[in-house]
Structure 1
Amino acid sequence: MQAITHDESVGPSSLALAEVPDPVPGPDEVVIEVAASAVNRADLMQSQGLYPPPSGAPATIGLECSGKIVEVGENIEGAAEWAAEHLRPGAEVCALLAGGGYATRVAVPAAQVMPIPSGVSLAEAASLPEVACTVWSNLFMTADLTKLSRPGRRPRLLVHGGSGGIGSFAVQLAAAFDIDVAATAGSAEKVAACRELGAGLAINYRESDFVDVLREHTAESGDFGADVILDVMGAKYLGRNVAALADDGRLVIIGMQGGISGELNIAELLGKRGGVIATNLRKRPVEGPTGKGEICRQVVENVWPLIEAGRIKTQVSERFALADAAQALQRLQSGESSGKLLLEV
């Protein structure tokens, strides 16, 4: 098969298409002939040597894909009983990967393989697994967002990077669950996009401090702050995120775009009875109540119907050939893109 290889010491510019051995499915795996993969911030970090794959995962970049099943392992039905009807050769599926998506074929645990929601094309389905599983697991399984309503108001969510791949999905999914959504973005165009996606409050972080805007926005209720903050920035926003939390609020950190080490005001956090949670999807086990298999099951049960009903739409903004993976990552790195970037085989 063909796969994208790279030199970590060089970064995205070293990516190239090369011949590599075909994957062989394990007993609990299927092999997918890839139609498309999608570009994620973690892919950029891996290309720079900053985010190595978990033990046992393919060295090839790529955390999601769509395509057709071409081989199945001998223990498929036992590996993913909830999805057994979709795990047959020829079935069109999408999958959450620990690596290997930038290739023409990939082996993946059966429990992480999902049917394609009706109304979504085979290629566009590649844009869904990573964002859907990340957002659902963090907002609804970890932060219990829907349980944080208060007398007289809905739960409040603040999403950083609301027009990006993760952010645009988070805004739509939360809005579909009747959450009061605020989002930050870095331009007037991206702020407008956040509003169109369902954010009741959209903040241009280049022009305003999101803490001040959130305080003004919630002043009338006398109940300041966000119940949950979904953060991709990490250290850079740590202090202001704690300041923006409501009492009993939860800061969920899923990225490190703004650095890995920051100062935490524990007194302020204690005063709010706040929680800071850092989570990672890629290194979770397949099995278990918070494993990737269970996350995929819940996504199919709870999120796919919203996509099929048109309440959540895929946000594919640009498409690249697989051989142009370096160009796609450089586009992501520029910060000028919105939504998801696809790599099509």
Structure 2
Amino acid sequence: MKAVIVSSPGGPEALQLAEVPEPQPAEGEVLIEVVAAGINRADVQHRRGLYPSPPGVAENPGLEVSGRIAQSAAGFQSGQPVVALLAGGGYSERVAVPTGQVLAAPEGIDLVSAAGIPEVAATVYSNVFMVAKLQPGETLLVHGGAGGIGAMAIQLAKLRGAQVIATAGSAEKCQRVLELGADEAINYREQDFVEVAHRYRGANVILDVMGASYLGRNVEALARGGRLVVIGLQGGAHGELDLAALMGKWGSVYGTGLRYRPLEEKAEIMRQVEEQIWPLIAEGKINPSIDKTFPLAEAAAAHEYFDSGVHQGKILLTV
């Protein structure tokens, strides 16, 4: 079968289409014929050699797909439309996935667009609601509000009755943030998000993709009892934390990841995603934020577009 591999760690040109062995489902897994795969920042880190696949997982990138069941197994019927959360290998014609990470495709959207949902839905729901326990009436600060994760976080938090403020890097992206339902958009090139957060008496929950470069200011932006959840390291991995400031806020800092979690934890997250988010998609209350699609063979061009930072929402590869 064809799959996109990383020839050697580096830029987008490192992604090449190649023939690889077809995956053989192990016990508790199901084989999926891939229709589309979502691109995530973790895939970029994988391409650069900074985020390797866990042991026993396909070495090529790709953490989420949509597709159809290749053969009946474990409660799934052959040809059934599904989406799946992966630990790797999604940039392929076929993938073998633990059944706990596979869901029937949500109603209300086409199967290609559905590929942009599993990773962002699992990331947002597990971090904002399962870890940080955002409550109605609280304020959520989302960094990178115009991206796939940001778009999901804004929509879901507003539906749960929270106030949402979000950062973005241009006037166009700020407009997109407002269209998604945010109460306020912050152009981080022109505004101080700490100052804005203080107008809301601080952020009760902060969903952060930057890491070290934002650590100190995120603590400043917290409300009393606020929860900072770090899910990305775009601004570096090593930062200095003012514990006195954190203690003065009665604050908490969580660092989480999805890829290396045990299978049973991923299965529980996906169960809750199906229960809590799928009905909202079917009702048209949450819409996947899809920016652009590329054929699988043009994965390098898709990553070049992703790296440019101009996109708003998800970028997909179609098989």
Normalising by structure 2, we get a TM-score of 0.98
Residues in 2 aligned to 1:160 and 1:175: alpha-carbon distance in whole angstroms:
16
Partner of 1:221: none
Query: 1:8, 1:46 within 8 Å by CA — same for their partners in 2?
Result: no
State the secondary structure of the residue aligned to 1:182. strand
Partner of 1:185: 168
- Give the number of equivalent residue pairs: 319
Residues in 1 aligned to 2:72 and 2:225: alpha-carbon distance in whole angstroms:
46
Q: Structure 1 residue 26: deviation in Å?
A: 0.8
Residues in 1 aligned to 2:141 and 2:297: alpha-carbon distance in whole angstroms:
37
Q: Structure 1 residue 72: deviation in Å?
A: 4.9
1:22 aligns with 2:11: no
Return structure 1 stretches of 4+ with deviation > 6 angstroms: none
Query: 2:37, 2:318 within 8 Å by CA — same for their partners in 1?
Result: yes
Partner of 2:207: 230
**Percent of residue pairs bearing the same amino acid type:** 55
Structure 1: which amino acid aligns with 2:238? S
Partner of 1:303: 277
**CA deviation map 1:253-310 (0-9, x unaligned):** 00000000111000000111100000000100111xxx10000000000011111111
CA RMSD of aligned residues (A): 1.0
Match of 1:250 among 194, 219, 227: 227
Partner of 1:51: 51
Residues in 2 aligned to 1:56 and 1:19: alpha-carbon distance in whole angstroms:
19
Query: 1:33, 1:104 within 8 Å by CA — same for their partners in 2?
Result: yes
1:259 aligns with 2:233: no
State the secondary structure of the residue aligned to 1:117. coil
1:203 aligns with 2:186: yes
Residues in 1 aligned to 2:80 and 2:281: alpha-carbon distance in whole angstroms:
20
Q: How does 1:1-345 map to 2 (within 5 A)?
A: 1-72=1-72, 76=74, 84=75, 87-146=76-135, 154-215=137-198, 217-218=199-200, 224-287=201-264, 291-345=265-319
Please identify, of 225-234 and 113-122, the stretch whose mean Cα deviation from structure 2 is larger.
Answer: 113-122
Query: 1:25, 1:71 within 8 Å by CA — same for their partners in 2?
Result: no
Structure 2: which amino acid aligns with 1:98? A
Structure 2: which amino acid aligns with 1:271? G
Structure 2: which amino acid aligns with 1:140? F
Normalising by structure 1, we get a TM-score of 0.91
Partner of 1:81: none
Residues in 2 aligned to 1:131 and 1:227: alpha-carbon distance in whole angstroms:
21
Query: 1:6, 1:12 within 8 Å by CA — same for their partners in 2?
Result: no
State the secondary structure of the residue aligned to 1:22. coil
Residues in 2 aligned to 1:211 and 1:20: alpha-carbon distance in whole angstroms:
49
Query: 1:11, 1:49 within 8 Å by CA — same for their partners in 2?
Result: no
Residues in 1 aligned to 2:140 and 2:29: alpha-carbon distance in whole angstroms:
36
Residues in 2 aligned to 1:225 and 1:213: alpha-carbon distance in whole angstroms:
8
TM-aligned CA distance change 1:341 to 1:8, over 3 Å: same
**CA deviation map 1:29-58 (0-9, x unaligned):** 000000000110000110000100111111
Residues in 1 aligned to 2:103 and 2:242: alpha-carbon distance in whole angstroms:
42
Q: Structure 1 residue 214: deviation in Å?
A: 1.9
Residues in 1 aligned to 2:269 and 2:60: alpha-carbon distance in whole angstroms:
23
Unpaired runs of 5+ in structure 2?
Answer: none
Query: 1:29, 1:72 within 8 Å by CA — same for their partners in 2?
Result: no
Residues in 1 aligned to 2:85 and 2:290: alpha-carbon distance in whole angstroms:
17
Residues in 2 aligned to 1:42 and 1:116: alpha-carbon distance in whole angstroms:
23
Query: 1:64, 1:94 within 8 Å by CA — same for their partners in 2?
Result: yes
**CA deviation map 1:186-235 (0-9, x unaligned):** 011111111110100110000011001222x32xxxxx200000000000
Residues in 1 aligned to 2:79 and 2:30: alpha-carbon distance in whole angstroms:
11
Structure 2: which amino acid aligns with 1:196? E
